[in-house]
């Protein structure tokens, strides 16, 4: 592992923490790796030991490292959980540790099956709730609000599918989808129209499980295609900003 010297800057501990954090995100530091002791880190990064100590506390609070006490203690890279991933999607995309393809694989596997089950298990009240969500989205003009509402359609289908584990998975998948969209910063792009959801709702109302599954897969593929384009444009912009020193 090689960490850069940070020299004299304001908020040195944040700079040090950022350097170590990036080493973890890129895989230069892996789960279970032990960092050098404070003295060695301070020498390597050209800062004082108190700065190193504060940086390690900061990383510990983020859940990125564990600090063990005692003669054989030290700072060790911990397991990255889903909350950290959600909060750092932009950095992980930039470092190519998370990609839209990762999201695509999950969505194309999970959502068609969830929608198929919902065609059988959704109650009449569930279907009314889904129709109300579509109507709410239709009258919403704010892109950010509309994205949240359309996401709620998927969450509600997950809840209505009759399998609480699938419902939890759909919620997690939608959390990541919205985190990706937020990170990729589309200005006024709506990833799909309300008609996609209306078609799916009709299949659910008709209790046509095969059609609901097919439409869900087509819907996810359409969204994912647009997200891939956003990802490509965002990575190009990020590279240009880096080369320009932004």
Q: Is there a single domain that holds both residue 114 and residue 27?
A: no
Q: How many domains does the chain have?
A: 2
For the whole model, what pTM was predicted? 0.72
Measured at the alpha carbon of residue 218, what is the angle toward residues 214 and 219, in degrees to the nearest 5?
Answer: 115
Reply yes or no on whether the pLDDT at 10 is more than 60: no
Check residue 26 and report its DSSP letter: T
Give the CATH number for residue 123.
Answer: 1.20.120.530
Question: For position 9, what pLDDT does the model report?
Answer: 52
Asked if residue 7 is part of any domain, the answer here is: no
- The percent of residues in the chain predicted with pLDDT above 70, rounded, is 88
pLDDT in tens, 27-42: 888 888 889 888 899 8
Structural domain harbouring 65:
12-80
Q: Is there a single domain that holds both residue 132 and residue 170?
A: yes
- Look-up of token digits 């950022």: 18
Q: Is there a single domain that holds both residue 93 and residue 69?
A: no
Q: Is there a single domain that holds both residue 170 and residue 104?
A: yes
Q: What is the Cα–Cα distance from 138 to 149, expressed in whole angstroms?
A: 10
Give the CATH number for residue 30.
Answer: 1.10.10.10
Q: Is there a single domain that holds both residue 73 and residue 132?
A: no
Q: Is there a single domain that holds both residue 42 and residue 118?
A: no
Reply yes or no on whether the pLDDT at 59 is more than 60: yes
Measured at the alpha carbon of residue 184, what is the angle toward residues 180 and 189, in degrees to the nearest 5?
Answer: 100
Q: Is there a single domain that holds both residue 18 and residue 34?
A: yes
List the one residue out of 106, 135, 122 whose CA is nearest residue 198.
135
Question: For position 64, what pLDDT does the model report?
Answer: 83
Q: Is there a single domain that holds both residue 173 and residue 66?
A: no
pLDDT interval class at 173 (50, 70, 90):
very high
Q: Is there a single domain that holds both residue 117 and residue 220?
A: yes
Asked if residue 3 is part of any domain, the answer here is: no
Contact (CB, 8 A) for 185 and 179: no
Contact (CB, 8 A) for 64 and 84: yes
pLDDT in tens, 61-75: 877 888 887 666 688
């Amino acid at each position: 592992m090689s960490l850069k010297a940070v020299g004299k800057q304001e908020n040195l501990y944040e700079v040090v923490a950022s350097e170590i954090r990036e080493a973890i995100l890129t895989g230069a530091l892996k789960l279970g790796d032990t960092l050098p002791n404070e003295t060695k880190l301070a020498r390597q990064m050209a800062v004082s030991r108190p700065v190193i100590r504060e940086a390690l506390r900061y990383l510990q609070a983020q859940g990125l490292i564990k600090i063990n006490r005692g003669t054989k203690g030290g700072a060790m890279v911990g397991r990255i959980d889903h909350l950290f991933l959600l909060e750092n999607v932009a950095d992980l995309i930039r470092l190519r540790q998370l990609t839209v393809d990762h999201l695509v694989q999950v969505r194309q596997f999970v959502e068609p099956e969830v929608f198929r089950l919902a065609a059988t298990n959704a109650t009449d009240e569930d279907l009314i709730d889904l129709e109300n969500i579509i109507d709410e989205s239709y009258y919403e003009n704010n892109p950010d609000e509309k994205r949240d509402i359309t996401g709620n359609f998927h969450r509600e289908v997950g809840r209505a599918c009759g399998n609480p584990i699938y419902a939890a998975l759909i919620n997690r998948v939608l959390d990541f989808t919205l985190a990706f969209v937020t990170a990729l910063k589309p200005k006024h792009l709506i990833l799909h129209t309300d008609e996609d959801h209306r078609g799916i709702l009709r299949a659910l109302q008709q209790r046509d499980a095969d059609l609901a599954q097919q439409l869900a897969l087509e819907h996810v593929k359409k969204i994912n295609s647009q997200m891939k384009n956003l990802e490509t444009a965002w990575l190009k912009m990020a590279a240009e900003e880096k080369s320009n020193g932004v």
